[in-house]
């Protein structure tokens, strides 16, 4: 059951997942308010096949900077908040964005008596060693104590992120830690949006969500090589080299250290959620053939 004509504010609206969520909210008849940093960029198509937002958004909130830029008026008359806001490839401090900026949205939602706040996080934050995991975990703790009905959706890896494995396969390369037996259930943005939008306002909860297939890292590499029509080749990165990469990255910058830790944690920890959706990874890789 959807909550038609309710107003939903989406933070992180210009991201891979945010764009798919907005498309789904629009299709379901919600009043869509998108918080963006750059209106022109929002209007254009996103990366990895994510939709352009032009024509899908009813109301825009321009928040070009951090938490200080976000005014209470942004939350006026909002029934539900969805946040897919977080640092991925952006050059920013995860604490300032994943924790503090999300916290600012939450504080405004509490002040406006918003009904629910759905946050798209990531799995395994309680054991993750990166700054991104710690910042996300801290926000989830704050959200779970909020009087705004907290909904936390922790997805497995996104198809968008696995594009890099396909790009490497096209060049005849694949790298992994150990034997590649770590398991994932990668999910397409549209399938994740379907899960999130169909749960908006349905009550507090935490969900680990994946796509319809459970795959090992080696399976994913094989699918990438098949789509790229290259002979499979897998190079094991020895553990001491991974530790050396963290040591080096820490000395380059906190951001480089966090990204390296986040990536290596992901290569060593299963990330399998409740299966949802219909999109298959092999079809996504095939769609990348160019």
Ligand X SMILES: NC(=O)c1ccc[n+]([C@@H]2O[C@H](COP(=O)([O-])OP(=O)(O)OC[C@H]3O[C@@H](n4cnc5c(N)ncnc54)[C@H](OP(=O)(O)O)[C@@H]3O)[C@@H](O)[C@H]2O)c1
Binding site for ligand X (CB under 6 A): 12-18, 37-38, 84-90, 92, 97, 120, 122, 155, 157-158, 160-161
Quick one: tokens of 23?
Answer: 């498309």
Measured N-to-C along each axis, helices 217-228 and 159-170 cross at an angle, to the nearest 10 degrees, of 60
Nearer to ligand X, 114 or 160 (CB): 160
Q: How far apart are CA 197 and CA 109, in angstroms?
A: 18
Shortest gap between Cβ of 75 and ligand X (angstroms)? 17
How near is the Cβ of 259 to ligand X at its closest, in Å? Answer: 11
Please tell me the distance from the alpha carbon of residue 142 to that of residue 243, in angstroms, as a whole number. 32
Q: Which residue is listed with tokens 């907005």?
A: 22
Taking the complex as a whole, the smallest distance from the CB of residue 113 to ligand X amounts, in Å, to 25
Least CB distance from residue 174 to ligand X, whole Å? 18
Find the shortest distance in angstroms from Cβ 88 to ligand X: 4
Among residues 116 and 160, whose Cβ is nearest to ligand X?
160
Q: State the minimum distance, in angstroms, from the CB of residue 94 to ligand X.
A: 9
Q: Which is nearer to ligand X, 6 or 19 (CB)?
A: 19
Q: What is d(CA 257, CA 253) in angstroms, rounded to the nearest whole number?
A: 6
Smallest distance from the beta carbon of 104 to ligand X, in angstroms? 11
Nearer to ligand X by Cβ, of 90 and 243: the residue is: 90
| Cα torsion angle, 10, 14, 17, 23, sign | positive
Nearer to ligand X, 112 or 156 (CB): 156
Rank residues 29 and 45 by Cβ distance to ligand X and give the closer one.
Answer: 45
| Nearest residue (CB) to ligand X, 50 versus 148 | 50
């Amino acid at each position: 059951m959807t909550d038609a004509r309710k107003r939903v504010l989406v933070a992180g609206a210009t991201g891979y997942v945010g764009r798919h969520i907005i498309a789904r909210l629009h299709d379901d008849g919600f009043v869509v308010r998108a918080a963006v940093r750059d209106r022109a960029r929002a209007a254009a198509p996103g990366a990895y096949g994510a939709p352009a937002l032009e024509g899908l958004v009813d109301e825009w909130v321009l928040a070009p900077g951090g938490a200080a830029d976000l005014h209470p008026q942004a939350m006026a008359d909002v029934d539900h908040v969805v946040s897919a806001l977080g640092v991925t490839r952006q050059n920013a401090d995860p604490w300032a964005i994943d924790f503090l900026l999300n916290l600012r949205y939450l504080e405004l939602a509490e002040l406006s008596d918003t009904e629910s706040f759905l946050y798209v996080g990531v799995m395994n934050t309680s054991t993750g060693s990166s700054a991104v995991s710690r910042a996300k975990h801290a926000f989830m703790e704050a959200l779970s104590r909020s009087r705004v009905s907290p909904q936390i959706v922790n997805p497995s890896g996104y198809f968008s992120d696995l594009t890099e494995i396909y790009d490497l396969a096209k060049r005849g390369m694949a790298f992994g830690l150990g034997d590649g037996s770590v398991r994932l259930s990668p999910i397409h943005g549209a399938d994740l949006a379907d899960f999130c939008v169909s749960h908006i306002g349905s009550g507090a909860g935490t969900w680990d969500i994946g796509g319809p297939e459970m795959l090992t890292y080696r399976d994913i590499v094989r699918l990438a090589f098949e789509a790229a029509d290259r002979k499979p080749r897998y190079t094991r990165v020895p553990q001491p080299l991974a530790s050396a990469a963290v040591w080096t990255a820490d000395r380059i910058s906190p951001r480089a250290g966090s990204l390296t830790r986040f990536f290596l944690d992901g290569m060593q920890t299963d990330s399998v959620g409740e299966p949802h959706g219909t999109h298959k990874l092999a079809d996504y890789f095939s769609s990348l053939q160019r």
